[in-house]
Amino acid sequence: MKITATCFLSITALLCSASLAREQHPNVLLICVDDLRPELGCYGVSYVETPNIDRLASRGRIFRRHYVQAPTCGASRCTLLTGRYGKPSNAALFQRAEQIRKAADSVPPSMPAWFREHGYTSVSVGKVSHHPGGRGGERWDDDSILEMPQSWDRHLLPAGPWKDPRGWMHGLANGEIRIDARNRAGTVEMDVIQSVEGPDSIYPDGISIEESLRQLDLLSADTEHPFFLAVGILRPHLPFGAPAKYLKPYENADLPPTPHPTKPQGRTTWHGSGEFMKYDRWGRNPNEDAEFALEVRKHYAACVSYADAQVGRILAKLDEAGETDNTIVVLWGDHGWHLGEHAIWGKHALFEESLRSPLIVSSPAVMNPGTPTDSIVETLDLFPTLCEMTGVPKPEFVHGVSLRPMLEDAAAAGHVAVAYRSGAQTIRTPTHRLILHKDGYAELYDHTSVAKETRNVAESNPDLVKELSQRLRDRLAF
């Protein structure tokens, strides 16, 4: 085929136009980490090894007071992916999908769908929505039941030896699958902590990250479309299993004492840590056995370091593909996790430990990178933020606000944060947390005091309870 000079110039102009479009609309890499506490080197914690997340933080903005909307995976991820307050249910996204099935026009598009509508290729790998791979059915692999319809060009979960997404979700080393941590007969089937010699691929994240790297290669090769790639990292979700090399640094480590480790007095959102306690604990309770509590904390730290290594693999591939300077990278924890604070081992409460999680935004647009901000922000702020940073139109239906001011100035003002679970809601200000129960009972905690969330001061501060209750109602009036 003969190519004329005019044809060559036309092709060159087209390629330049495509390249320019990608420069005008940066890629988005969203890394979602399950059950991750803000217990990382870049958050001032020296006893947990997270060199890759720390390097990401050094070129971005660390949000030290980021709060999720719900202390549970499904509801929190629903807020992230829709930019809207919602229901405190793990089934929130499936409920939304059912609404779409009945009347698609009545449901605003999700964040990946919005970016897809504006020219992005949207891909998800691992646990991004509540079900890894984003499907329903008994084993979470039914292609006819989508958790997020119309959202992804590809929504992937390679299950490997764990057979299916449900097995992958609660898997331990070398394909061990949790049918149920405790079966109907009361027999415990899976250990709560584990450490096995071997490469990263012997645990679930190892193989899903391999798929993430393959997708990054494919997306980078497409010079016409920017990409929205969401990668879900499972650990440190229960059970706490990671390759032995990640536990070794903690075997003889000195961890600081757990703050306020006793069950709170009076009425609170405390619970009995059922998600943790149903695993095989060899008859030991970390609330009564300090040695076991320390062992659990070390295994959790090992899982965090394992997750950090997966973050490192993703960022290295981004560098290798030459996409780092044209990609906004967000690392987000879907909620916090108690490691014995308030005698809780898990999430699901409305205390600080359940609701505060890491948030790091890295981009060339961040001014004075590596500087943290203490301004309060919420998960649902990410949708409008990413729109503003990429040049994608900001939709009117989102409930959050852009974090662009804080990316340009770490001292920029934040706002209050609200969250909810079944039967209670909470609002966090720079100085206080109010938890308002469905029947009107109030918990008020003063974060300027040494007691923080161990002493309910609602009775002695009725005016503040009234004021914050109204602000909470106003915030959730949607």
Q: Which residues are catalytic?
A: 73, 130
How far apart are the C-alpha atoms of 328 and 227, rounded to whole Å? 10
Contacts of 377 (CB under 8 A, 6+ apart): 63, 65, 66, 67, 359, 403, 406, 414, 415, 417
How far apart are the C-alpha atoms of 380 and 394, rounded to whole Å? 13
Length of the chain: 478
- Take residue 278 and report the two structure tokens written for it: 């149903």
Backbone angles phi, psi at 317, to 5 degrees: -65, -40
Contacts of 117 (CB under 8 A, 6+ apart): 109
Residue with structure tokens 């879907």?
334
How far apart are the C-alpha atoms of 343 and 336, rounded to whole Å? 15
* Cβ contact 390:384 at 8 Å: no
Distances in Å between the alpha carbon of 305 and those of 91, 109, 235, 361, 457?
30, 35, 9, 20, 38
Residue 474, class by beta-carbon neighbours within 10 Å (0-12 exposed, 13-18 middle, 19+ buried)? exposed
* Cβ contact 276:188 at 8 Å: no
Backbone angles phi, psi at 391, to 5 degrees: 80, 10
